[in-house]
Chains A and B, each alone.
Chain A
């Protein structure tokens, strides 16, 4: 590993090259232990994991995730076992009985489960009646949160995806210019980072921790990058003057991205850094296990490393991790389910509930490992997890009746339903009180109430799209 060049009084290097930080209280906190030495408060963070599966497979109504007991004595079902294995079961709350309706109501979707429902869940705005199909109609929660708590970090938001396949409709939505024939402003899925190696480079290239000794080479490279970005902006401006309206929109967007990057490089805001912040050395993209069979476990592990460090190094305070793009892209494959049809085509629709439960358990394990990393990152009197909201949301729930008013695509497939949905809420930010099962069955509350609760915990005003209200039980 490559240690940062922090001054000797703050870092002792272990035999394996790891950095042993002095207790944070000694070097960075104020006398009360509630703020950092530069006066900034210990930040809160937001993390969401999007699981690209439903609770049940086609034709099944039994599943191994939803607890049967509510309250503090809830039972950890097999799919949620990784929470115990990773030591975070007491740091999580389970919220069951959520419902996103396939009807024209606030936060509803126009029958098409894969095409419209994820937009409705993640934006809280009804989807599929107006605007371009397969497009969201509002901001996603991570973007709303980033506007408030992500303004002082290098990256307002980071969005990674486990599955390496491109395409599909993503789960983080931003506002952008509409194209010809569309409204002036529309919402669109943000492209996630699919490469752990690129995610690493993004975090650590040109990153210099505070109190580090000046590095002439790093200074030169920063100046070189800034010079090139400035030249690029000039070139975009020049080209923009020669093209038509639609192409100008493209170049305007390109210019905006370049300027954002330029501002980030120029930022002198001292980052809020935990002693756990370290450069692990280059992270690479793992080779495929077999022909067209990615090493999903290795990819997940590397992204987990990046996520831990992104928060520890305060590179961002908002991070979204997609399991796959909506509907698992063309078919996410994994050595655990190395089926021809992949996660969507086969595991969800043409296999057994046991196989789907096993796949879901893997996704829960990834989520649990992220929380475990937050839990081991000491910060102030506690850990990163103490000041984080970590959500787990699934693409589908469990349709218990063949009711077109409660399940998409005509209501016939329990898999294509957002009835009886489950979300997980990890962390203790803003007064969240974990270690219980909150059963909301029968109340037809939209997933947005959980996102709103996360926003409340983080001090973010407003609500998700058309959905109002929070789940007070999460704070009791």
Chain B
């Protein structure tokens, strides 16, 4: 079932346009804007014409987080990537729509090799080599051998290089690559009067980390019948799966599976299930949700309260991701994990000890938590309904909001004259017509539906600066009224779960969006599984589309 559409609203003279669930056809630079052609990965194309997909990089770069995780998994070293590399940007301007969009750190488009990154990578590689050889026992364990003699043990060095390259580069070295690496590492080592073997190890490891094959995953693929589509090789698919499900490098055992035999459906399923069973997958699920909902960036100046709020949201997330629990609990649960202090803060009866508490209407799910609600505020308690509505529109309903017209200053928000009521001021602003109305009809509709929850998640029925102004807390989505997070979810379950799948698709495919026909398929399966999120992830990982890459037509 198609999600409720915002397209109708967007057409109401809105020059600052909001685009609803993506239109039927988006012209692709690869096809020169022609009509839809193939639907890579199969999937049904009944109904609207499939969306033409845009080309993606054959060398998607790892995020800082993924580099950090990979280095820990391979070498047992922590913190080096975080201290040496710049953080990936949290947002990006979409060149097609000119809208500023929130971005996952996996977005390949925003990874230009700046001087700060490249020099940071060089320093990172240097430090990895240095710190790794500081523990000779670790070196011996990873290599599976202990060097003999006083010089460079070429055989043992070769074993280490083979192991490290396989993990970091996700493939074995070719003979020329191996030979060049061992020669250069040995040459450096012979300058040193001490433990030449460890110096050679250090030189080799530094080179392997610094080389582009580590930070850029290659997805060159093999041709299909369509020049715009390539199929990833088995080895490339393993690398993509490990990045998606773990945010890290694949293991030698996983790579050995594809080395031994072609990956058939059964072997692929075993591989994926092995990835899903690992605790790294649980951690990756949390990474995705935090990067999507951003609640850990909460803006609460009381550190104890902030810790309680983070605990509240983390606990609900873990519960919603636990086996046998519908993921939709994340957004519709009437229970929250509260400390006595947090319950008091919310104006609720404090429990005797920290635990799950039933929450009153209009609260439900993570959208009613203080951590999430603090994100769109200005002052500690004050809300800007349009801004909150924009956050909800982008993040939870996957709406694209184009920039406002150049003459519109959005920084000040709608002016609320002293003594007047906010709701009436915003209503008057919308009634003025002009360039602002189209967007504000949608954004205010969302924001005012949450207005009874302030910037710290506290419930209120009157405006803090004017007690004569009652807060109804009623908004609307697509013409249907709602009040609070509970009703938003109840009235728009399909739209919101569709958006969650859309967001996961962006994260998984490292692109600005995944084509609608695929999102629809995954959403149908997600709904049919009673919103089993782990099953959703599994179905994406096993889907034929996951092992394809779209490239520029020659």
Contact = CB atoms under 8 A, between A and B. Distances in A.
B298 A292 contact: yes
B212 A244 contact: no
A291 B122 contact: no
Interface residues of A, number: 83
Contacts of A236: 212
Interface in B433-454: none
B169 to A, nearest CB: 9
B126 interface: yes
A220 B191 contact: yes
B118 interface: yes
Given A198-B120, A261-B118, A254 B212 contact: yes
A136 B529 CA distance: 49
B379 A341 contact: yes
Contact of B412 (A58, A128, A193, A197): A58
Interface string B493-506: 00000000000000
Among B113, B125, B408, which residue has the most Cβ atoms of chain A within 10 A?
Answer: B113
A128 B303 CA distance: 42
Interface in A314-339: 330, 333, 338-339
Interface in B349-407: 374, 377-380, 403, 406-407
B119 interface: yes
Interface stretch (B81-89, B244-252, B257-265): B81-89
Contacts of A330: 90
B115 A293 contact: no
Contacts of B298: 291-292
A72 B86 CA distance: 45
Interface in A344-383: 344-346, 348-350
Interface in A93-147: 110-115, 128, 132-134
B292 interface: no
B192 A220 contact: yes
A185 interface: no
A180 interface: yes
Contacts of A410: 407-409
A236 to B, nearest CB: 5
A250 B120 contact: no
Given A220-B191, A227-B203, A257-B119, A290 B301 contact: yes
B59 A220 contact: no
B407 A111 contact: yes
A416 B409 contact: yes
A242 B551 CA distance: 13
B378 A134 contact: no
A167 B29 contact: no
Interface in A59-117: 110-115
Interface string B177-196: 00011001101100111000
Interface stretch (B213-221, B340-348, B468-476): B213-221
Nearest to A170: B114
A133 B199 contact: no
B78 to A, nearest CB: 15
A239 B212 contact: yes
A229 interface: yes
A471 B450 CA distance: 54
B117 interface: yes
Given A220-B191, A413-B412, A293 B301 contact: yes
A194 B86 contact: yes
A175 interface: no
Contacts of B406: 110-112, 128, 409
B58 A247 contact: yes
A251 B29 contact: no
Interface in B405-444: 406-409, 411-413
Nearest to A111: B406
B220 to A, nearest CB: 6
Contact of A250 (B112, B185, B207, B220): B112
Contact of B411 (A128, A201, A416): A416
B493 to A, nearest CB: 30
Interface string A190-223: 1111110110011001000000000010011101
A338 B306 CA distance: 14
Interface string B76-103: 0000000110111111010100100000
Contacts of B115: 190-191, 257, 260
Contacts of B74: none
Interface residues of B, number: 75
Given A167-B90, A228-B206, A253 B378 contact: no
B15 to A, nearest CB: 14
B188 A243 contact: no
A220 B206 CA distance: 13
B409 A409 contact: yes
B485 interface: no
B114 A190 contact: yes
B210 A341 contact: no
B167 interface: no
Contacts of B89: 166-167
Contact of A341 (B119, B216, B378, B408): B378
B116 interface: yes
A245 B58 CA distance: 11
A17 B58 CA distance: 53
A176 B206 CA distance: 29
A204 to B, nearest CB: 11
A224 B129 contact: yes
B470 to A, nearest CB: 23
A258 interface: yes
Contact of A292 (B83, B114, B206, B299): B299
A339 B119 contact: no
Nearest to A236: B212
B86 A340 contact: no
Nearest to A202: B119
A340 B377 contact: yes
B180 A234 contact: yes
Contacts of A134: 93
Contacts of B297: 292
Interface in B270-302: 297-301
Contacts of B306: 290-292
Contacts of B210: 228-229, 231-232
A133 B99 CA distance: 11
A235 interface: yes
A350 B411 CA distance: 9
Contacts of A257: 113-115, 118-119
A231 B184 contact: yes
Contact of A239 (B59, B303, B377, B412): B59
Contacts of A219: 191
Interface in A221-278: 221, 223-225, 227-232, 234-236, 239, 242-247, 250-251, 253-254, 257-258, 260-261
Given A243-B59, A254-B113, A340-B299, A232 B212 contact: yes
B93 A250 contact: no
A261 B122 contact: yes
Given A58-B412, A410-B409, A232 B207 contact: yes
Contacts of A223: 188, 191
Given A230-B184, A291-B306, 8 more contacts: A112-B406, A181-B29, A193-B86, A227-B187, A242-B220, A243-B59, A340-B299, A340-B379
28 contacts: A166-B90, A191-B115, A195-B86, A198-B123, A220-B192, A223-B188, A224-B126, A225-B206, A227-B184, A231-B181, A232-B212, A236-B212, A239-B216, A242-B58, A250-B113, A251-B212, A254-B212, A258-B122, A261-B122, A291-B298, A291-B303, A292-B298, A340-B374, A340-B378, A341-B377, A349-B411, A409-B407, A410-B407
Question: What 6 A-B pairs are tightest by C-beta distance, nearest first?
Answer: A341-B378, A257-B118, A409-B409, A254-B113, A191-B114, A410-B407
Interface of A: 58, 110-115, 128, 132-134, 166-167, 180-181, 188, 190-195, 197-198, 201-202, 205, 216, 219-221, 223-225, 227-232, 234-236, 239, 242-247, 250-251, 253-254, 257-258, 260-261, 285, 290-293, 330, 333, 338-341, 344-346, 348-350, 404, 408-410, 412-413, 415-416
